[in-house]
Amino acid sequence: MSAVLGVEAAGEETSPLIDIIAGARPNFMKVAPIIRALEARRAAGSPLRWRLVHTGQHYDEKMSGEFFRQLDIPPPHVNLEAGSGSQAAQTASIMLRYEELLLERPASVCLVVGDVTSTMACAITAQKLTIPVAHVEGGIRSGDWTMPEEINRLVTDAITNWFFTTSEVANANLRRAGVEGGRIFFVGNTMIDTLLANLHRTRPPAWWDAQGLVPQGYDVLTLHRPANVDDPEVLTRLLAAVASGAGDRPVVFPAHPRTRKMLARIKALPSALRVVDPQPYLEFVHLVRHARAVVTDSGGITEETTVLGIPCLTLRDSTERPETVTVGTNELIGTDPRALAPAYARLNAGGWKKGTTPELWDGRTGARIAEQLERLLLR
């Protein structure tokens, strides 16, 4: 990357400024390739400027700081330090602080990624100040309005000018909602850019040997959705079903802060479970790519397992990423613990589908987005 990043270059204040919004853990992998691609274009003479705005929704070292370092994301130009709170409190805090920034130092476009609270809050704030919004990963839908992420997607997409999409399904969803084709850009998946760019750097966590882990000899579990973790009885039943399905294998369980709080209230955890802190990116991908299988309620992880060809059992009833099921290695098991046994039986018998990689998930999505932004902003 060049020495002078994004917005700091002098003498070019009139060229378009892109606000890149990052708020929560899954955003960081998505913005890294876009920043890299914009910097590459700047090095080649592009006048586009960018400003990285961290909302502060995730603030822990383990949920944020480590990701910036490992993915070589430059320090944010601005940190709104919005912090934790209810969905409404967090949204309000991000909106107030981002509005203040935009009023003082306006941007030409607000680029948001994914479906977290920061995505929606910044999109609303910008559009109300008549600043156009670009949404990376626009158009995906689970249809489940009980998930805060689905509300964030619906609201964000209703006021987005330009959609950068990951799949033809997303394109079709947008067209069905009345979005004209000229505003939809099918570019692929920036999270997969990051995955492919870092595969050669992944490394085992320091405790790999002490836990007796060997490739394909363990499963990985992640859970953080309120429906799965907020009720200790539901969580206890799910954990028992996972441990029983895994048989003698260890189940490595990097626990999200929200889940950790609930685990503290469960008296006896199954002995197969190896509860560890949220892992940094390079260690987490190492764990996933060498696992026998992954059990999760995340959306992004189903994309990564699809590209890595690792069997993925999703503890949800719906997905906004259907290509991970139709093309990839993912299967929706639902949230009833009893549904896990038959799925594990197939996995244990070696009968899991192989899957292939969805279209345009090729590591070049950031470059496509940067190129398109230049066309849109310099025309």
Q: How far apart are CA 110 and CA 92, in angstroms?
A: 18
Contact 301, 294 (CB under 8 A): yes
Q: How far apart are CA 297 and CA 259, in angstroms?
A: 12
Helices (H), 183-280: 190-198, 226-229, 232-246, 257-263
Site mask, ligand UD1, residues 76-95, x = CB under 6 A? --------x-----------
24 is a site residue for ligand UD1 (CB under 6 A): yes
256 is a site residue for ligand UD1 (CB under 6 A): yes
HEC per residue, 107-176: CCEEEEECCCHHHHHHHHHHHHCCCCEEEECCCCCCCCCCCHHHHHHHHHHHCCCEEEECCHHHHHHHHH
Considering only residues 283-302, where is the footprint of ligand UD1 by CB under 6 A? Answer: 298
Site mask, ligand UD1, residues 324-353, x = CB under 6 A? ------------------------------
CB of 54 to ligand UD1, least distance (A): 11
Q: How far apart are CA 327 and CA 295, in angstroms?
A: 18
63 is a site residue for ligand UD1 (CB under 6 A): yes
224 is catalytic: yes
58 is a site residue for ligand UD1 (CB under 6 A): yes
CB of 63 to ligand UD1, least distance (A): 3
Considering only residues 211-230, where is the footprint of ligand UD1 by CB under 6 A? Answer: 224
Contact 269, 263 (CB under 8 A): yes
Using the rule CB under 6 A, which residue among 39, 66, 149, 219 binds ligand UD1?
Answer: 149
Q: How far apart are CA 348 and CA 246, in angstroms?
A: 8
Contact 19, 110 (CB under 8 A): yes
- Token pair 């890595």 is found at 308
Site mask, ligand UD1, residues 98-137, x = CB under 6 A? ------------------xx--------------------
CB of 348 to ligand UD1, least distance (A): 28
Using the rule CB under 6 A, which residue among 6, 26, 33, 205 binds ligand UD1?
Answer: 26
Q: List the catalytic residue out of 224, 256, 286, 290.
A: 224
- State CA 151 to chain mean position distance: 16
Interface residues with ligand UD1 (CB under 6 A) are 24-26, 57-60, 63-64, 84, 116-117, 148-149, 224, 256-258, 298
For the annotated catalytic residues, the residue numbers are 224
